[in-house]
Every structure is written in C-alpha cells, then in structure tokens.
Amino acid sequence: MSVLPFDQRDGFIWMNGELVPWKDAKLHVLSHGLHYASCVFEGERAYGGRIFKSSEHSERFRTSAALLDFEIPYSVADLDAFKQLVVDKNNFTSCYVRPVAWRGSEMMAVAAQNSTINVAIAAWNWPSMFDVNEKMKGIRLDIADYRRPDPMTAPSGAKAAGLYMICTISKHRAERRGYADAMMLDWLGRVAECTGANIFFTAKGVVHTPIADCFLDGITRKTVIDLARRRGLEVIERRIMPEELAGFDEAFICGTGAEVTPVSEIGPYKFTPGAISRALIDDYSAEVQPKQKAA
C-alpha cells in the first residue's frame, strides 16, 4: 500500500508564530534536536473538530521541555489556540495533532544553552484505528527485549524524542514477528507499558495497571482510570510481574492513537476481551466527543 510521505502533503503547519504551507515547514540538517534528541512532542486527537484535553497536553508539553532544560516560548493558552487554529485551517474534524519543540542550529555540541527553541504544530486526518467489533477480537503483543530505563538514568516523565528510540526498535521487531506491538518491561523486569501506549489488566472485576514511574503517565491512561472508577470498578496501580499475566482475565492498552484497544495475547499469555474492555471502549468514545452547551 502506497502512503503519501509526510513531507509531501498539502495543508498548513503552524511554525514559530505563523501558519506556513505544509511543504515549507523545514529545519536545517544541523539542528541540535536531530543530533542530540533535544526534542519534545505531544500526540493529541481532535473529535468533532475539538482537541480532547488540549490544555492538559499543552501543560505536559511545557513540562517535558523543562525536563530537557529548555522553555517553550508560549503559554498553555497560546498553545491551545495555535493547535485549534491548525485544526480549523486544515478543515479537519477527526484528526491527530502533533506539537513539537526542538533546539535549533545555532550550536552543535552537547551543550546548546543558546540555541533557539523552535515550535511547530501539525495535524492530519486520522480516524479511529479499529471498528469496535474488530477491536473486540484483541491484538497480539510481543514482549520486547529492551526495557524502560531506571528513572534515575533518563527524564522518564517527559514525552521526549530520545525515549522513543527503543520503542521504534521494539515495535519493528514485533511487527516482523507478526505482532501488532510489544509490551515492555521496566529495568527491574516488571511490566511497564507498550511502545506507545499504557497497559491494563483485569482479574475478578478489578482493574490493575503498572505504576507510572519510569514511563509516561499518559493522559489517556488517567482518563481511563477515571472512567473505570466512575463505573464503580476498583483500579489498583501496582507493580506487576510478567508471571502474573497468567492470572488475568482481560488485557487492554490505551493511548491517543490506540484509544482503548483490547489485547488477546502477550507472548505466551492469552486473554479474552470481555465486558470491562467493551464498557471502557464505549465510555471513552463518549468521553472524547465535544460536549454540547446547554441552551
């Protein structure tokens, strides 16, 4: 299947204070962010033309930059407005939104305190990944070789480009082996997350999920926890060892891209997508829709 390259699409990208034609949104090959991973980003979705939890994403965007020792030169309110402008200018309703910030090309060494901080925002059409009935079949996950690092060795609270290197490697390996994605362990061998999504399990009606202290505490993750508790489900955030997977009934992943997606298999472990997964798919779908204002 032929896919139009992302640098050859039409539309507009917001970049450093102005909307520019899509194909003109470029950076120099000697940008610090490219060589030293001094780059942070967000992954967001718009539903019905409005970005879900836009301000929470903007706040995390600024926090991620601070963890990489630079400052986004725009406020949360500014970023929210610029993102919505991009969605509106491109006439999108259901789309993915990608803010990104990086150190520029003024300095080319490990230290780059005086580099300009560049910010860009793009958006592109991206409907839900699966029909709900197709989702309920569950996806298959490999178990990654690479592990999420000790939080004392990397800024694990940042949505930073460099932290995704091992995710790309792990997902490529999984796909070559016929899996949809890979589950990653943490540096001590405990269950952590997938390459771009958080993971949940159920046992006897209780929802279990790993503690997010060495990987991103996703905005979708927090939303799903809230939705489960609204349903009266108990949610336990705890350490989970791989051998415990044999005792769980259901498993599902969640993230901006995956939304809520059930899992049928993780390596040698099997799961049966069921009522809790289905309920949270439905609850999340309802939650992300723009709320109608009362007359």
Catalytic annotation, pick one of 53, 83, 159, 171:
159
Q: How far apart are CA 172 and CA 254, in angstroms?
A: 19
User: What residue type is 18 in one-letter code?
Assistant: E
Query: 159 an active-site residue?
Result: yes
CA dihedral 225, 248, 242, 151 (to 10 degrees): 10
Enter the tokens of residue 30. Answer: 């000697």
Cβ-based neighbours of 83, under 8 Å, separated by 6 or more: 14, 44, 51, 54, 58, 97, 99, 121, 123
Q: How far apart are CA 124 and CA 22, in angstroms?
A: 11
User: What residue type is 238 in one-letter code?
Assistant: R
> What residues form DSSP beta bridges with 80?
none
Q: How far apart are CA 185 and CA 242, in angstroms?
A: 8
Dihedral over Cα of 56, 104, 9, 14: its sign = positive
Is the distance from CB of 47 to CB of 289 less than 8 angstroms?
A: yes
Q: How far apart are CA 6 and CA 67, in angstroms?
A: 28
Enter the tokens of residue 33. Answer: 């962010």
Is the distance from CB of 83 to CB of 41 less than 8 angstroms?
A: no
Enter the tokens of residue 64. Answer: 């991620």
Enumerate the active-site residues: 159
